[in-house]
Amino acid sequence: MPSPRAYFDHNATTPLAPEVLDGMVEVLRDGYGNASSIHQEGQHARRLVDHARRAVAALLHADPREVVFTSGGTEADNTAIFGAIAATALPRKHFVTTTMEHPAVLHAADALESQGVGVTRVPVSGSGVVSPEAIRTAITPETVLVSVMHANNETGAIQPIAEIARVCRDAGVLLHSDAVQSVGKIPVDVRELGVDFLAVSGHKIGAPNGVGALYMRKGVACAPLLHGGKHERGRRPGTENVAGIHGFGIAASVADSALLSKANYIEHLRDEFEMSLMDRIPMVRVNCAQSPRLPNTSSLCFPEVDGEPMVIALDLSGFAVSSGAACSSGSVEPSHVLTAIGLSRQDARSCIRVSLGPSNTREQVMALVESLTAAVAHLRRLSPTMTSQGNR
């Protein structure tokens, strides 16, 4: 592997924060109690879990009792969606979401549909932002739950969750938000947002894979997805992943401290990156540039250049970036998010995503600009053959 490498794929996953690693190693070595046990070892584990719960709650401005630990963002999304629908007594049920959600929500919607629940997938405009009015229109008397992501994983576009929450409150329906991408990058306050559920993932904020959380507003009804013991107040059975949860708590505290100044630093880097690119490369477009965006995310379209070889060439030069979302790599379809915001299939295939993190430096960003400029120029030189689909 060429080194040194520069990692620009923080929306896919993040490196473990050093504090998290140290804390987890300690727990893995010495903290072997089961948090449900009566004895000292168990009490120690319980303390670690509760401490982490307070840290995650603090990051979300929630009450610790409103935080349920899960195995990650996908389980948190599924718990909110299936749990809220199942806990409702309506004879006919309806679910509203958008076309640009993460598969954890979109495929949950497909599954609901196959169980007979009505589903409306609200389209998104070219700005990458869903309009609260469109959500209002989609809500029917049978609607139980609305699910709209807080920030999109590919474009970084931030959705008007607080306004959508008002729409939902007016209509008397619940609101879930997949905040996997926004938490840790911008301030997230569940009270200000007015959501009933909110999904968080550990590994997007410097914790390990395999741990996440669901915020469940106090008093909201939600049936558990899994059946088992009385862990997490009966809301999520299974012996707690104490080390992972402990790491998640530390990561939440690290993310919470100086969040705004880190966000400002990253945004400044990102903007400088985009400005330099536009100076250097003709015909580059930044998707959703006019919309409120996550400070770290840059979704770039290089018309008539194939994104796949661009990502490979950059990887071979030591830069980790992605084409579309990591989950869709290797599949035929161009990113559903980019087509949802109105890009043609061809343009969607010409996009790459650069997502920065606090450890990225200006030198790395400028080196990426150099390599990207060279890669695009090389591909455009080749492009007469690239685009001659079948004219031999």
Nearer to other proteins, 221 or 312 (CB): 312
For 300, which DSSP code? E
CB of 312 to other proteins, least distance (A): 5
Q: Which residues pair with 322 in a beta bridge?
A: 353
Q: Report long-range pairs for 225-230 (Cβ below 8 Å, ≥24 apart).
A: 225/75, 225/78, 225/79, 225/82, 225/83, 229/36
Nearer to other proteins, 219 or 390 (CB): 390
Q: How many residues bind other proteins (CB under 8 A)?
A: 21
The span from the CA of 282 to the CA of 278, in Å, is: 7
Nearer to other proteins, 230 or 392 (CB): 392
Nearer to other proteins, 286 or 320 (CB): 320
CB of 378 to other proteins, least distance (A): 7
CB of 317 to other proteins, least distance (A): 8
83, 338, 328, 200: CA torsion to nearest 10: -40
Nearer to other proteins, 41 or 315 (CB): 315
Site string for other proteins, 344-383 (x = CB under 8 A): ----------------------------------xx--x-
Is the separation of the CB atoms in 49 and 188 below 8 Å? no
Amino acid at 26: E
Is the separation of the CB atoms in 50 and 39 below 8 Å? no
For 126, which DSSP code? T
Identify the residue whose tokens are 């938000």.
Answer: 177
- Residues in 214-233 that interact with other proteins by CB under 8 A: none
CB of 5 to other proteins, least distance (A): 12
Residue 147 CB: number of other CB atoms within 10 A? Answer: 26
CB of 354 to other proteins, least distance (A): 18
The backbone torsions φ and ψ at residue 200, rounded to the nearest 5 degrees and listed phi first, read -130, 145
Site string for other proteins, 297-336 (x = CB under 8 A): ---------x-xxx-xx-xx------------xxxx----
266: burial class by Cβ within 10 Å (0-12, 13-18, 19+)? buried
Residue 168 catalytic?
no
Pick the catalytic residue from 168, 288, 301, 327: 327
Task: Catalogue the active-site residues.
Answer: 327
Task: Return residues touching other proteins (CB under 8 A).
Answer: 1, 306, 308-310, 312-313, 315-316, 329-332, 378-379, 382, 385-386, 389-390, 392
